[in-house]
Structure formats: structure tokens, C-alpha cells
Homo-oligomer: A and B are copies of this chain.
């Protein structure tokens, strides 16, 4: 780690990355390589002797780039975005440059304290209830992903219950969530030993735009209580992965509370929009939640990974996840004067991730960030309008945020044929390399998803995307 070599090579890498962004529109958005392509391009073993940075960067260009799916391309509309920005990138650089590991307060006090402060800032932008702030028994923490966020709160909730009813009751614990909930929750149940038959996957349909009906939750809980089971965890969504559906938080939270269940709100994608007053309504009812999660790496210009989790009761987390080996003991921790984030998460080690979120908030400011969100939503509105003006297409479920769900309409009422046609369209569009959209299924229908949220996306990219989709559809319909 020679400072002058770092300076020289660092500058070259900055130019390399800046040049990448300058030319990003020249690459196929979805990588077009075949499985195993790289194996034939790289040697079988590591070199014995140093190679030059030039050789490595040449290989990045000629061998790695063809296998990259360009998430930062302005024509990336698949899944949900994974935002990157100059501020987020600088934060990652600084974090990598300092190279600290912030498991306990003492291992780098600034890492813990900046994280607490920045999560408080964000909670205030969202107008979260005070109980989620760090001044009491609540607070925020940066997890790697929403999967880890939901895992740690599930463990906290599980252990809360098992402490009072005994650990043999594990097989009686029941989890409730809609069939639109991210697969991360089922994975978390699997990891934590919740019995699969105790996962109540509650059905949704188009009548509620795929939001969970509180009556269904109430019914399922009653039935389980009668059967001697222990309902203990409800997850609600603000912006589901398939269609950005929003569950009715207040009503669900009320049921959760009256049954002493942990209530988690997964707003991984759409939570960012709720810093705009006009979208805050979608998390109304969050005051009934025990935990709330939002991925700043999705739609808040903060480079992956940066998943924000707030809890009202940090003791539940730390009771479930603390370890206290001798080699980590220190005065500040023993005296209970500080937060040790190792006890809020699965891993021990952790990067200085709050730096990037802090830099995003400071270098852009809240007002700019609101405009950024609103611009994407406006672009999505435009796209929605383009779709609805074309009789070959239909918009599926009303758009709320920046995701448009749509498909080619069925002909002759043949849903199977329609599904195949939409699959073909997806394939045709994505193999063009001109844009990348993804798909989902809603009530058995194959749906195409256009999620607008790449930082570089402008009106022209959305229009061009629609043109490519329309032309490909026209070819499929008339062939």
C-alpha cells in the first residue's frame, strides 16, 4: 500500500471508470455471452509473477465487459434499479481507502456513530415515528441487503417468543405474508427453522392490485390460534417486487399488534419515494411496525450494498444476535455506553458503509433527491401512457411509483398463447442489447416489467425503449 503507487494507479482507474460511463450506451445492456465464455479466455491458474495494470485493464475491456450486464446503463429497466452515483462511488472509494472493520464501536468509533446519525437523518426525511430514532431504544442500522434485514428481525421476533414459551415451541411458530412478498422471507424462514407448513402465504389478486387483504390475515391468525399454533410475525410490503403493490400497513399492523406479533415493513424499493411528501402516504401506518426496511442502493443513489433497517426495540436484536468473546471485550462496550453493530447483524465484520450514504445526502441534499425520485416517476408515467395508447398492449395494475407492468394483450382469449408471446417479446427485446426489461407472473399471466430508476435514464431512453418494444411486438404479432 504505497501512497504514490496508489495515487498513480488510482488516477488511472478513475479515468478508466469515467471512460466507461462515457461509452456505456455503446454496450448491449444485457450481456449476450454464452455460459462458460470466460473459462476459455483466462488462464487455468494465477500468475507467479506480477502483471501490469495495463494488462489487467485490457482484459477488463476485452474479456470482462462482454460478460457484464450494464446495470448503470440508461436503458436498464429490469428488476429494480441498483443505483450508483458520483457521491455513492466516492463513498465506496473512501470506505475502501480507510479499510477499517467496524464490528464494535471501539474498532472505529466514527463508523458506528456516523451510521447512527445518518440513519436518524434518513428516518427524519421519512418522518418515521421517534421510536425508530437512536435516542431511545430504537435506531437504524445498515445491512447488506433486504434479505439480511428480514432475516435478523425474524430471528429477533422468533427468540422473543421462544424466550417466553420455550424453544420446543419452534414448530408452532407461524409467519404471515402475502404471495407477493419477496422470496427473501421464505429463505429467512428456512434458515431460522420455521416449519414450511407454518408459512402462511396469503393470496392476493387483481381486485386489490395485489395488496394483502387484512381480513385474510385476521382469518388465518384466528384459525391458527384455534389450532394451538403461535402467530408471531407479519410482513407487509410497500412496493412488491413483481408489481410495486402496497399493503395496507395500518390495518395489518393493528392485527399484528392485537395478537402480539412482530410487524415488519419491507419497503426495499419504494421506501425511497416516501421522502417526497406526496408519497409519504404509502407508509402511513408505519407507526404500528416493529421494523422498517428500505434499500438505499435501489433508488437512492447509494452504491450497493446499503440496506437500511430501523427497529423500535434494539434489545430484541441484540438479545438474539450478541456474542461477547473475550478477544472483543473493551471498556466502552462492557460499560454499555455504545452501540456495537456486530450484535445487530449476522456477520461480525462490517465496512464503513455509512460514508457513502452520508456523502449522497450531503453532496445532493434532500431537495435534489426528491426531484430525482419525481423525475423517474414522471418518466414512468410517460412510459405508461405510451403503453396504454397502443391497442396491442395493456397496462397491468395501476402504476404508483416508477414501475410499469404491461403485456401484449391476448388474442382469441388465449392466455397460454399470450403468455408465450410475451415471453418471446421479452427474449427479442433483451437479445437486441438495446434495453433490458424483466418479467414476472401475476395471477398466472406473464407480465413485462419496465422499472425506471437508472440514474442516467432520460426521456429519450424511455421513448427509444418503447420503440424497440413496439417494433419487436409488431413483428411477433404479424409474423
Q: What are 22 of the A-B contact pairs (CB < 8 Å)?
A: A3-B21, A10-B14, A10-B93, A11-B14, A20-B98, A33-B110, A35-B337, A38-B110, A42-B117, A46-B361, A46-B362, A46-B365, A50-B365, A67-B109, A69-B106, A71-B108, A83-B99, A167-B171, A184-B348, A241-B325, A304-B351, A326-B441
**A255 on interface, CB distance cutoff 8 Å:** no
Q: Is the CB of B108 within 8 A of A31?
A: yes
Residue of B with least CB distance to A109? B67
For the complex, give the distance between the alpha carbons of A348 and B82 in Å.
Answer: 13
Q: Which of A36, A108, A170, A191 has the most CB of B within 10 A?
A: A191
Q: Inside 8 A of A258's CB, which chain B residues have their CB? A: none
Known contacts A10-B93, A108-B71; is A361 also within 8 Å of B47 by CB?
yes
Which of A145-153, A283-291, A394-402, A464-472 lies at the interface with chain B?
A: A145-153
Main secondary structure of the interface of A (DSSP, over half): helix
Chain A interface, number of residues (Cβ within 8 angstroms): 149
Q: Is the CB of B3 within 8 A of A18?
A: yes
**A227 on interface, CB distance cutoff 8 Å:** no
Q: Is the CB of A49 within 8 A of B365?
A: yes
Q: Is the CB of B110 within 8 A of A64?
A: yes
Residue of B with least CB distance to A125? B46
Within 8 A of B (CB), among A52-90: 52-53, 55-56, 60, 63-72, 79, 82-86, 88-90
**A202 on interface, CB distance cutoff 8 Å:** no
Q: Is the CB of B117 within 8 A of A38?
A: yes
Q: Is the CB of B13 within 8 A of A18?
A: no
User: Within the complex, what minimum Cβ distance (angstroms) separates A265 from chain B?
Assistant: 18
For the complex, give the distance between the alpha carbons of A259 and B196 in Å.
Answer: 28
For the complex, give the distance between the alpha carbons of A400 and B37 in Å.
Answer: 42
Within 8 A of B (CB), among A409-446: 438-441
Q: Is the CB of A56 within 8 A of B359?
A: yes
Known contacts A6-B14, A7-B14; is A71 also within 8 Å of B101 by CB?
yes
Contact of A71 among B37, B100, B326 (CB under 8 A): B100
**A96 on interface, CB distance cutoff 8 Å:** yes
Listed in ascending order, the chain A residues whose CB lies under 8 Å from chain B are 1-7, 9-11, 13-22, 30-31, 33, 35-39, 42, 44-53, 55-56, 60, 63-72, 79, 82-86, 88-90, 92-94, 96-101, 105-111, 113-114, 117-118, 120-122, 124-125, 144-148, 151, 155, 159, 167-168, 170-171, 182-184, 186-187, 190-193, 195, 241-242, 297, 303-305, 320-321, 323-329, 332, 337-338, 346-349, 351, 355, 358-359, 361-368, 438-441, 449, 455-456
Known contacts A170-B170, A359-B56; is A45 also within 8 Å of B124 by CB?
yes
Q: Is the CB of A242 within 8 A of B327?
A: yes
Q: Inside 8 A of A92's CB, which chain B residues have their CB? A: 92-93, 96
Q: Is the CB of A109 within 8 A of B50?
A: no
Q: Inside 8 A of A145's CB, which chain B residues have their CB? A: 347-349
Q: Inside 8 A of A305's CB, which chain B residues have their CB? A: 347, 349, 351
Q: Inside 8 A of A190's CB, which chain B residues have their CB? A: 155, 159, 320-321
Q: Inside 8 A of A106's CB, which chain B residues have their CB? A: 30-31, 69
Q: Inside 8 A of A38's CB, which chain B residues have their CB? A: 109-110, 113-114, 117
Contact of A191 among B1, B68, B146, B155 (CB under 8 A): B155
